Structure 1
């Protein structure tokens, strides 16, 4: 160890030590501090690129206040973390809570994909079922429906909504019609806990609407949506879109042949692949000889280098495989 560097570190601790350099004159605390600095100062300098004297000076208040037992443990520590723990105590978890791990892109619980549709009526209690009684819940069928007229809706699958399978949420325009008194409605997944918030607030006799994005039950039950009403009222639901779970999409690929290369017996040459369409990228080239006895000397995404080792002439076609991410 560089004695000058160590001396500089101890000089920075002079207010604490205030003794000569020999062990007898340093005192018990000064001796333990000396051992800690001597043992770990070079490590700090090498691992953290911090001057040992600077580190010793920064640690001065800690050395001065640490119990003698803590200084002894730091001097005896077998690794740097143990030395730090002896002087500073164990690391304390952040008061902000546990570390947050972000979800991967495509998380089925959060990264939903919105599918807009032309507005279509899912239900209308004026035509089916009657008004929702005060302080009660009415449930409705949203998915896997070919004809919504049984609940006052459209006599169709609502522009593909009913044929889309089970989906996680829907954007529905909810319209309250002539309620018997002031109150509110709350929409929530069928079988779920009713939230304390509302989707539409109303007064007696009003016709008022609001667009709500509502989570749906994706279980085996026929109904997916429930609506609570404080007062008796008719209710209309018009869907304008729905949210599906993300799905991995396969690449779209095409194969493009290049110009046929004629090779005489014993000859060699390059067969060039076709040009990819706009938006596609060549990912590989397939070399296709017409006869046995031809070998590939080299292959690139643009061409094949072929050698005809046979006794007969033949042809070679280089085919580019071109791919793209759908929608780009």
Structure 2
């Protein structure tokens, strides 16, 4: 990838020099060097994040690199992020903006796809008040040496049958979840050894959740993955030596879940449009954490007509605008606001 990017950058630099044949040699060389830096720095990102054909992207970007002023190109080359580099070029005039957008429309750039959480990896932690879910001194008896015992952790209304609390410990009603945070305590093991907690139905890992010596009373906090299959139990605990075991849950990790949009409306701003003019006005900004979804634009003035609305591409503040044409001979009032949304997630 790096070798390909270097060759591509050299090709782009040569193309730029060919387009600027009447410029001074020194300026052509400086522009070529800056293009070389940008392409070698970001071609890998373009290919990975935008699933782009890098050569098509290069062809679409040549007009952008050749048209922007040299000082703007230098700032773009020094940008720390790809978005910041794009902003430097996009904010330097309509031609650069249109050239970059052409890359997206032509297919050399594609919008990155983002998902709301990976169901297996992007788990959400929920803390709970510490609560006992198992105690073999009260129910079940000591775990025999070199054996495994299974325990129920999720969808339990009363943990009393395992020697735990006579409640659901604040986790019984949440359904299945992927992992639990449990403080395990061994009580008077018969010999030195260890316990290993692991998901039900899986191979016992070569790892120790807690190490102990004979007669010990010792605890350790562990995050334990749980089985999410149809079995009643989700957790297995192996013990090297005979021991009693106590388990107190302090939290759990649950799978992410898409939720409905949470939307608000901004205040409505009033703008004055002069007689016989066409103009646009930026709408109020969204609250922190929200993004503008759509502008709303209206007027009660006869002879004033909407010319559309959308995002203001020249600003980095997620502002939308409303455009108007006033065909009357007097100043008229128009109004604009934003519908702003966020995805709360879980």
TM-score by length of 1: 0.56
CA contact under 8 A between 1:259 and 1:272: conserved in structure 2? no
Q: Which residue of 2 aligns with 1:318?
A: 336
For 1:48-90, what per-residue CA distance to the aligned partner results, in whole angstroms no more than 9, with x for missing partners? Answer: 97xxxxxxxxxxxxxxxxxxxxxxxxxxxxxxxxxxxxxxxxx
Query: Structure 2: any 5+ residue segments left out of the alignment?
Result: 1-6, 11-114, 311-318
Q: What SS is found at the alignment partner of 2:161?
A: helix
CA contact under 8 A between 1:260 and 1:271: conserved in structure 2? no
C-alpha separation between the residues in 2 aligned to 1:296 and 1:214? Answer: 59
- Counterpart of 2:148 (choices 132, 137, 142) is 137
Q: How many residue pairs align between the two structures?
A: 225
Q: Which residue of 1 aligns with 2:216?
A: 206
Q: Is structure 2 residue 232 aligned with structure 1 residue 222? A: yes
CA contact under 8 A between 1:169 and 1:242: conserved in structure 2? yes
Query: What do you get for the CA RMSD once the two structures are aligned?
Result: 4.0
CA contact under 8 A between 1:258 and 1:272: conserved in structure 2? no
Q: What SS is found at the alignment partner of 2:190?
A: coil
Q: Which residue of 2 aligns with 1:196?
A: 206
CA contact under 8 A between 1:261 and 1:316: conserved in structure 2? yes
CA deviation after TM superposition for structure 1 residue 220, in Å: 0.7
Trace 1:32-181 onto structure 2 (pairs within 5 A).
Answer: 106-158=117-169, 160-181=170-191
Query: Structure 1: any 5+ residue segments left out of the alignment?
Result: 1-45, 50-103
Q: What SS is found at the alignment partner of 1:115?
A: strand
C-alpha separation between the residues in 1 aligned to 2:211 and 2:271? Answer: 76
C-alpha separation between the residues in 2 aligned to 1:252 and 1:225? Answer: 36
Q: What SS is found at the alignment partner of 1:163?
A: coil
CA contact under 8 A between 1:147 and 1:155: conserved in structure 2? yes
C-alpha separation between the residues in 1 aligned to 2:124 and 2:117? Answer: 10
Moved more, 288-297 or 122-131: 288-297
C-alpha separation between the residues in 2 aligned to 1:105 and 1:296? Answer: 36
TM-score by length of 2: 0.53
CA contact under 8 A between 1:218 and 1:224: conserved in structure 2? yes
CA contact under 8 A between 2:307 and 2:323: conserved in structure 1? yes
CA deviation after TM superposition for structure 1 residue 259, in Å: 4.6
For 1:148-189, what per-residue CA distance to the aligned partner results, in whole angstroms no more than 9, with x for missing partners? Answer: 12211122222x322222122222111111122333222111
Cα gap change, 1:221 to 1:318, in 2 (>3 Å) = same
CA contact under 8 A between 2:191 and 2:215: conserved in structure 1? yes
Q: What SS is found at the alignment partner of 2:266?
A: strand
CA deviation after TM superposition for structure 1 residue 317, in Å: 4.5
C-alpha separation between the residues in 2 aligned to 1:269 and 1:198? Answer: 70
CA contact under 8 A between 1:257 and 1:273: conserved in structure 2? no
CA contact under 8 A between 2:210 and 2:219: conserved in structure 1? yes
